[in-house]
Homo-oligomer: A and B are copies of this chain.
């Protein structure tokens, strides 16, 4: 493989991202393309046309996942899949999700132009949904592909306007899958290219991250029950200050997280006080904790130490504590063979890369259950995501596409494949 073919990668990637971002573009910047909205329908139909124009075979499954296939010459029942989700959060950016689709399409186009027909099928997928921004349900697209969906999961869900999931789905010309548990048996590998949504790559000045693990997550709601009292008339020694107790807990949790070191992260993102008034000692403090790590055993150990410390503090300050763990998702390792193929291609093509983990959840974690899967990251400027200010340098976008081209070439054009 040589690099002449890359001449216009930056320009073409940016142009195609802007074109796709036009479906659902917000008046003041940003993109809102919620599942089964008119903008979503327009985007999928226009992508289908784009794929067709490039000579790809287009298929859409019942729920609205869109596939564009460059057919293989030899191993016709083997498919290498790439892509990401087409939906966005409300007022999101130009990169999250749609970069993986655009990059997959451009990679296939360049491979076809440069090397002609592959031995295996190479497909790009534009998945229906991942964000959970319209209905309280995430990963609708990939869950359907990997056969993890039941009607009951979504049939009573309504969006913020009261519209039923089914109603919206039918209006967009989609439906439940006829065989929801059935999984395609031609899939041999899946690679998702995505923006990092963090600031590690930018800070370290590296354009490509090869993901080895998607972190597991535990999420908690911690409720501290003290006693609301007058801020002027209640001596410090007579207080049961829920806020003071919460602050001590959060302080210690942060110290504990720092002592564990990377890749452990622990975040208190939300806090609600009652009565939340300047001159009343808070009687109640409710806060959330979000913990992530790539190893289940570490997640569990940290959680146990953290909750034990919190209970100790509550007990020593005479306040009540109620700890509710409402999310417990295991870490997902990526496939080491696919990771190695991407790595080798980066080395061969002189692309600067870093092996890393993903702290965020992605469609790839679903695929990893059924097919050898890996992810490639490109930098997110200032780590910003889910925001109109989301930005990745055109040069970095192109480096990501190059890494993907390399991996798809190896997987789709070589006899050994994976």
Interface members, chain A 225-256 (any B CB < 8 Å): 227, 229-238, 241, 243-244, 246-248, 250-251, 254
User: B282, A269: Cβ atoms under 8 Å?
Assistant: yes
- A270-B264 contact given A200-B233, A230-B198, A258-B236, CB 8 Å threshold: no
**Which listed segment binds B: A71-79, A173-181, A273-281?**
A273-281
Most chain B CB atoms below 10 A, which of A203, A231, A282:
A231
User: B278, A230: Cβ atoms under 8 Å?
Assistant: no
Interface members, chain A 247-298 (any B CB < 8 Å): 247-248, 250-251, 254, 257-258, 262-271, 273, 275-282, 288, 290, 292
Q: Report Cα–Cα, A264/B234, bound state, in Å.
A: 10
User: B290, A278: Cβ atoms under 8 Å?
Assistant: yes
Contact size range, A: 35 or more
Candidates B251, B277, B278, B281; contact of A248 at CB < 8 Å? B251
The yes or no answer to A336 lying at the interface (CB within 8 A) is no
Most chain B CB atoms below 10 A, which of A229, A230, A251:
A230
**Which listed segment binds B: A7-15, A112-120, A340-348, A358-366?**
A358-366
The yes or no answer to A142 lying at the interface (CB within 8 A) is no
The yes or no answer to A210 lying at the interface (CB within 8 A) is no
User: A273, B270: Cβ atoms under 8 Å?
Assistant: yes
User: B269, A281: Cβ atoms under 8 Å?
Assistant: yes
A198 to nearest B CB, angstroms?
3
User: A270, B277: Cβ atoms under 8 Å?
Assistant: yes
User: B232, A292: Cβ atoms under 8 Å?
Assistant: yes
Q: Report Cα–Cα, A217/B234, bound state, in Å.
A: 14
Q: With a CB–CB cut-off of 8 A, which chain B residues contact A279?
A: 267, 269, 290
Most chain B CB atoms below 10 A, which of A237, A271, A275, A360:
A271
Most chain B CB atoms below 10 A, which of A219, A233, A263, A360:
A233
The yes or no answer to A197 lying at the interface (CB within 8 A) is yes
User: A219, B278: Cβ atoms under 8 Å?
Assistant: yes
- A233-B276 contact given A200-B238, A243-B271, A247-B251, CB 8 Å threshold: no
The yes or no answer to A65 lying at the interface (CB within 8 A) is no
The yes or no answer to A196 lying at the interface (CB within 8 A) is yes
Chain A 360-400 per-residue mask, 1 if CB under 8 angstroms from chain B, else 0: 11000000000000000000101101100000000000000
